[in-house]
Structure 1
């Protein structure tokens, strides 16, 4: 058993502090601009972060920016559960469950088929389709760990993470415009954003940039998609065993801790015993975590990295994203 080492903790804190402080400064600047110009704070955080993305490449801020974009993000999403109750989730109805299950299964199967038609392995289609349909980079990393070993697996995983993160950032900006153009109600817009945007952070950013109701519903729908990671990883593990691959290497958790934390917070909030001032404090902390994390995500966004890969894999993932949007809109029209 590894014992607690105060010196290591202090050293780790010193490594992370510059990046965390930079992310907080960008978040504070974004909050100031949003308050003064009545514009979405998440969008300001993203754009300001991208303006100083050189800080995330090398130097003392890199480790802290990485920590903020991952761990602080997940803490913020977990705390978001204090906004939502089980009654609200039940109020979404069976249609949302059917929508989420269908979009994940159909998107992954179509992606695997199209990948083979384009000359890729079907497993690459499962990797990109899973990232598109479930939860972006997190799904890509989790699926990669469960899929069979292959000489090109690491490169394919890195490519998928880069492209799905870039597409998710673009979706965070443009999908709310689509929702407005289609004149979707706040609840319908929440379903649309939660069901189509790849990464959890960008779903949160896009949803709450429109309204609190839209953000709450988008977050719940997105967390339902995250829960689909469990059966998909089980399927990937079955493929691995069928191909005789070994099981070496650490496995990621079947459900990310932020999803578990989110559910726990929802259950606590559903009791009705949480004082209003504590609810407000947790919600404010969650908001700061998310704005700070999206500032860090903006700093990490290196769109030029996409220039080093071929056009066919990008077209595959672009097609998957467009297919997902069309599928969700058709299913919303049919179910609702």
Structure 2
């Protein structure tokens, strides 16, 4: 009774959002538990559990909070990713790996947008899938989705991209170390390849340290450089949206979304060395929870039948992007050597 009275004193907006936010939080906790015990990507579990609870997103007490989590909590999680990166980490890589990362991200996204157009999709879909492939997997897909305008197919495209990139990243974590051994790559070169090609951070860490500590360290740094590319790509997505007038009939999105500004500021603050390790870890953990809860919310708002009807072309696009990125990074490594 006392809990009910306490909730009753909350502002009306908070009371309206609380049930849906809590539902997403419960799904995020369940997904985390399953991921830790069975080893599959937490984002994938969150998506599947969220879709199983799709009935909560209809008219009812949870609808408003689920929508809030899928939008605003997502943006908070993206901003907090800045606590994972420092300018010193990027500088420590040297010009070779930095050049490989920048070139591979730009080329992969450009080619993805062109191929998406040829396949009959909007180029924005290529930006979404290409950005997820080239930068940091599900986190990049969610960040780019947050920067793009509202569209009837946006959440379906985002959900498909997260599922696809999570599955491909898990496959790459297993297959790419074998490719490194087959090609006879040195620990440093193997780290650059793994960090420059595998989609999600967790899978990069798993693949890198499965070969050696040196490979794991290099792979993690290269991967963090790819995460840093998230900011300019978000700005590009927002600028492209404004230039095309794709505001969904409403106000055009800002050129620099607030969560992108937050991301940049946290990178700068983290680079000063004043942020304690405990605060960095806490911020990273909060970011992870926000992103997992947000993808659970997106899953709740998506009908499974919508994914069944996506067809072969989107699958081929994401698979092709993954293969293209791996080949491109190997080619760039030869030139940078």
State the TM-score, normalized to the length of structure 2.
0.68
Q: Is the 8 A contact 1:45 1:292 kept in 2?
A: no
Following superposition, the deviation at residue 304 of structure 1 comes to: 3.2
Q: Which residue of 2 aligns with 1:50?
A: 48
Q: Which residue of 2 aligns with 1:19?
A: 20
Following superposition, the deviation at residue 221 of structure 1 comes to: 0.7
Q: Which residue of 2 aligns with 1:149?
A: none
Q: Which moved more, 1:264-273 or 1:74-83?
A: 74-83
Following superposition, the deviation at residue 86 of structure 1 comes to: 1.4
Task: Output the CA distance in 1 between the equivalents of 2:235 and 2:50.
Answer: 36
Q: Which residue of 2 aligns with 1:228?
A: 233
Q: Is the 8 A contact 1:55 1:61 kept in 2?
A: no
Q: Which residue of 2 aligns with 1:167?
A: 164
Is 1:131 the counterpart of 2:132 in the alignment?
no
Q: Is the 8 A contact 1:70 1:293 kept in 2?
A: yes
Following superposition, the deviation at residue 87 of structure 1 comes to: 0.6
Is 1:177 the counterpart of 2:174 in the alignment?
yes
State the TM-score, normalized to the length of structure 1.
0.68
Task: Output the CA distance in 1 between the equivalents of 2:84 and 2:117.
Answer: 43
Following superposition, the deviation at residue 220 of structure 1 comes to: 3.6
Matches within 5 A, 1:235-246: 240=244
Q: Is the 8 A contact 2:20 2:63 kept in 1?
A: yes
Once the two structures are superposed, residues 162-195 of structure 1 have per-residue CA deviations (whole angstroms, 9 ceiling, x without a partner) of 54333223234333223343348556433323xx
Q: Is the 8 A contact 1:206 1:215 kept in 2?
A: no
Task: Output the CA distance in 2 between the equivalents of 1:82 and 1:260.
Answer: 13
Q: Which residue of 2 aligns with 1:192?
A: 197
Once the two structures are superposed, residues 241-265 of structure 1 have per-residue CA deviations (whole angstroms, 9 ceiling, x without a partner) of 9xxx999632223344333322222
Structure 2: stretches of 5+ with no match in the other structure: 1-7, 132-139, 181-186, 210-215
Task: Output the CA distance in 2 between the equivalents of 1:330 and 1:69.
Answer: 38
Task: Output the CA distance in 2 between the equivalents of 1:320 and 1:280.
Answer: 32
Q: 1:142 to 1:20 in 2, by over 3 A?
A: closer
Task: Output the CA distance in 1 between the equivalents of 2:253 and 2:247.
Answer: 16
**RMSD (Å), alpha carbons:** 4.1
Task: Output the CA distance in 2 between the equivalents of 1:101 and 1:321.
Answer: 16
Following superposition, the deviation at residue 290 of structure 1 comes to: 4.0
Following superposition, the deviation at residue 47 of structure 1 comes to: 1.8
